[in-house]
Amino acid sequence: MEFTLIKFIFIFGVLHSFIYLSFALGFSLVFGVAKIPYLSYAGLYTLSAYLMHLLLTKAGVPTIISAILSIGAVGGLSIVIGDYIVKPSMKNPLSIFISTMTVSYIVEEVFRIKMGLTPVALPALRGVITIAGVPVAQQWIAVLIIGAVSSFLVLIYLSKTATGKSIRAVAESWYESMIIGINPYKVFRVTMLIAGLLAGVASISLSPLKAVVPSMGWSPLFVSFAIVILGGMGSIKGTVVASFIYGFVEQFVTWKYGGAFASIVPLALIVLVLIFRPTGLFGEKE
């Protein structure tokens, strides 16, 4: 493989991996705490991008404030989904699977009806910088910084704060966490908030590089599925490692064989891991 191609794969692998990590962390946290696939994630991702677009174009709100309001809104909505959709059906995984997926479909259809299928765009940083001879749009640098900072803050929160340690304890066992005085349902609400905020952060930072369309949330959802399954369900360490594995594999396929083949990567990873290592890289057998 020629050296130039290796540089492209490495640089864009790093850039993609950090934003995938920030997105997949929220998905992994919900799975670890509630043991459910949080399919409303796709809708939250879509909603945050459209909210920012509407705040910018219809209300004239400045870019930074629009971004903060959009991220905060989907974080709050995530708590509502947890309280009124997930929590009442906690003992019925199939019901949660259907209802959370339905939320995403509702969001998609609402924007399909109201906004149509014509893509809209969010403002991106202008300009290009060169890294090791590889031209990189400045928006990608923003994606890298935002993804790295948000992921780092969440990991520090989980390891250094009392609530973060409670989240890890509940992920290990609801029953044992209650014995030591932790309220799993309060921890669950915090987890849903973090997940919603991370979905919003990922969407707001990445959407300026891609078309904002009603169905935009499904692709990141499948990526999160692939990363969490590869790393091990609910394993934070696994999510970190798998995000980088996925990012580099995807970029290798993209630059070597084209973007059409890269879209198959998450589905292929899910199937292969479930066949050969169902627990993932760092998952543990029940």
Q: Which domains does the chain have, with CATH numbers?
A: 3-276 (1.10.3470)
87, HSE (Cβ side, Cα atoms, 13 Å): 15
Segment 96-134, tens digit of pLDDT:
889 999 999 999 999 999 998 889 989 988 899 998 888
3-state secondary structure of 128: strand
User: Would you state the pLDDT for residue 56?
Assistant: 95
Please give the Cα distance from 190 to 34 (Å, whole number).
12
Q: Tell me the average pLDDT across 54-81.
A: 95
Q: Is the pTM of this model over 0.75?
A: yes
Q: Residue 198 CA to chain centroid, in angstroms?
A: 6
Segment 154-172, tens digit of pLDDT:
999 999 999 999 998 888 8
The runs of H, that is alpha helices, within 207-235 are 218-231
Asked whether residue 1 carries a pLDDT value surpassing 90, the answer given is: no
Cβ atoms of 187 and 166 within 8 Å: the answer is yes
User: Would you state the pLDDT for residue 254?
Assistant: 86
Q: Which residues contact 228 (CB under 8 A, 6 or more apart)?
A: 24, 27, 28, 31, 234, 238, 239, 242, 280
Q: Residue 9 CA to chain centroid, in angstroms?
A: 21
Confidence of residue 241 (pLDDT cuts 50, 70, 90): very high
**What does the block give as tokens for 222?**
């499948």
